Structure 1
Amino acid sequence: MRRVFVLGNATLDCVQTVARLPQPGETLLCDSLQRCAGGKGLNQAIASARTGAPTLLAAPIGADPDAALLRTTVGAEAGLEARWIESAQPTDYSAIWVSADAENVIVSSAAAAHGLALDDALAALEDFAAGDILVMQGNLSEALTVAAARRAGERGGFAILNTAPIAWDMGPVLGLFDCVIANAGETRALAGRTGPEGAADLARRARGMAVVTLGPQGAILARDGETIAVAAPKVAAVDSAGAGDALVGAWAGGVACGLSVEAALRVAVAAASLAVTRRGTAPSFPSRAEMAALLQALG
């Protein structure tokens, strides 16, 4: 089975539920608070591992109590190997507000992620081999992203870029990745349009494949000059935070398990749809047993 290497960030997430998102200058009291492990890199690695794909997470963390929580969380995940990279910076942190209509806003620190040294990152990919899958996001520096994508290509791997967050000009690096995964807003920023046309444009600028995520409308797969829509099941959403990460990780894991890219996307959309029915980021993801059921039903 192919392995999934996730090179990205890890954060302590502080998730507060509120009746509505605050206005500028306004103070609100939250209805509930949850502290959990998060960050796009860590979240995607957990989702990948729960498909049954052997998964490795390489991420920088500080020497503080927040890092201890992340170590404990990842250590409890079957099939997930952590290659923690010690940072002189504090462990990165995300403040997440979730409103009653399940919308969310997130502000994250990124000192540890931005300070990740190129040599340390590439050392974590030392055993990356032909057929393996590399998953990256926008939290790391442009230079590091470019170097890691090139390493994956040189070794015959498959490289995926999730364009969140867009913290620098990603346009010039899309061609280094075999697949680009973006939400509607990111697609508009990178391609100037959304929908099937935006997905097709991203696929052309990458190495032939793109996935555009559309929240409750599912996702669009663009490949080989064609676009395919994958609908999402209707669910009662309570918290959309982390759903995109559930989709990215489940898709990469499904592909690593041998599913076609379309079948893996059906599984990934279903996994994200299940996640939005629960509170929290990684704590909302389908369990290993639930993911196995999705793989059997949709794969």
Structure 2
Amino acid sequence: MADFNLTHSDPSTIILMGIPGLEAAHIWISIAFSMLYIIGLLGNFMVLFVVGKEQTLHKPMYLLLCMLSLTDIGSSTSIMPMALCIFWFNLKGFTVGGCFTQMFVIHMFSVMQSAVLVAMAFDRYVAICNPLIHTIVLTNARIAKLGLVGLIRAVVLMLPLPLLLSRLPFCANHIIPHTYCEHIAMVKMACVDTTVDRMYGLVVAFVISGLDLILFVLSYSLIIRAILRISSKKAYEKALNTCTAHFCVMLTSFTLFFFSALTHRFGQHVSLHVHIILVNLFFLLPLYSTQSFMGLK
């Protein structure tokens, strides 16, 4: 990644650069990002409205879709408004407390999204592999409890990120070459040893994602085996289409997550603007996942 020799002396303010090297194209990039963001928001709010209004859709799988919509809205909204302010109005100065808050919210919603996708994989597993007990095992009350557990897990594991950072003294350079306050970018601003912060962020991220990925793969291994045994062509195609959409969303989420996490720490040769654009897409593309599921139900 490129090095930045700019300095900023105000200890209470952090400067976000947007996409360094592509400042001249900020407006054009913002048009694409804002269109993706607005269309995605409208689609997800429509899903929430339809499911909330239609009593026949008050079922576990649609409640999970609503949870996915809420996490997608939360994660994208925690980033896009600030990024668009940088692109449109050149508003680059943000308080340290504001950056801590954004960092916590971003990672909390990301962990929540992962938990919801795993819960959806479990729902599909029970529905396809054990359809007779699906309504018994997965009730609306149990789905609500799963959502609460996912929220508590996200808060408990992500809250130490800003708390650990708040104890560190930052150097004079308060400039982050990014569109949002990313954890490792803020860690790099510290003037003291940050081994604890780096290791906690890396271990928690990979433990959470690794565990969720293992559960996801296990569920889908059993699902695929069950699908291959379905004799009805119509049922086979419906099950395959639903699982394909879910699998693609999960694959996209994990691929972009691992790309971002590894590039921040080890990707010195990855172009900075490529990294930033892909990371922003990581928060925008999931906005369309719920609509794809709804289209296949």
Return the index of the structure with the highest Cα Rg: 2
Give the TM-score, by structure 1 length: 0.28
Higher RCO (CA 8 Å, separation ≥ 6 residues):
2
TM-score (norm 2): 0.28
